[in-house]
Structure 1
């Protein structure tokens, strides 16, 4: 059986990135012109990859910035988009639309130092977000055993996936996830000399943005 493969693409530059604001379901304004250009470059690359080795499915977070990125990819690659609500970024409750600087100041510490505490009223904790994303990814991977799938989501999705595959709640390191960067995990034998000993997940690429380089043709 071919290996199961999961690729996560972060969305392109969004207005919330430019304005340094939290942008949940109520306030996300989608992609900036730069973000739309980045999404087009990502789409060209995914289309080329899809022609060489097809993706079985394309999934996306429901927020406008991820939907716009995924829709651009879908048109170029000829893949329908399936929205999975549980792939969305953390729920920030009453902080939706607020400036990050103000929210963190009110929180009183770097949010990463308190993963079991919501950043604002009505929000979810980082650990709750991780569990939600882990469950969603597990379900998608199980549905596509032996296939390649693409998820267009958030930087937090990349981090949550790394923690899931490493079997930890958190690691004392960060994971960069630039706009439209690609991260891929693939199952492979624990031992190539003893393939019947089982499979493990291997990180194939991380934070790959070579498609944004001038002249890159996919």
Structure 2
């Protein structure tokens, strides 16, 4: 039974200094490092020592640093993949939330717009979902037979869950899977071949 364990990166500097997320590349805070150690300890109890696991992470600092700490607990190597990054925020990367509020593109209507590109040179939500889906399909094919641990970002994690549940892009307007820093999500398949969410955004270890 194939399994994916998802971890949202732990507290990052952008969480406490009013910076944007997305492709803003900030490291973990001291609290974030403590959280990552707690995640690593929890993961020891989640994985089956008789099964094979590989560990992938977004290459942005807040995710890769979380992954390195977890990897130390599990004796795994970290494989970095740009496809696991948060949504590309274009010109807003490295900027403050106040700056982003003044420079985001106007929307044509209220609510979710699949083709809305929030910032110049950034991704639309549809492009983001396509990128995440293609990345997960590639990992699934290249790591066939292995369970995968993925350290990523909140938006990316939500879209991985949507990919797992076989959402068509237009279905994204109906649901959003919100998670928290250091939260752990477990996805698997049952004997009927159905996609399961066994655990979502578990933060009991923090």
CA contact (8 A) 1:88 1:153 kept: yes
CA contact (8 A) 1:111 1:119 kept: no
1:88 equivalent to 2:82? Answer: no
CA contact (8 A) 1:10 1:155 kept: yes
What is the 5 A alignment of 1:1-218? 3-23=1-21, 25=23, 27-50=24-47, 52=49, 54-107=51-104, 108=106, 113-166=112-165, 167-169=167-169, 170-190=172-192, 199-212=193-206
Superposed CA deviations along residues 124-163 of structure 1, whole A, max 9, x for unmatched, are: 1111111111111111122333332100001112211122
Change (3 A) 1:35 1:139: same
Task: Note the C-alpha offset of 1:59.
Answer: 0.3
CA contact (8 A) 1:104 1:111 kept: no
More displaced stretch, 113-122 vs 73-82: 113-122
CA contact (8 A) 1:21 1:98 kept: yes
| Structure of higher CA gyration radius | 1
Task: Note the C-alpha offset of 1:111.
Answer: 9.5
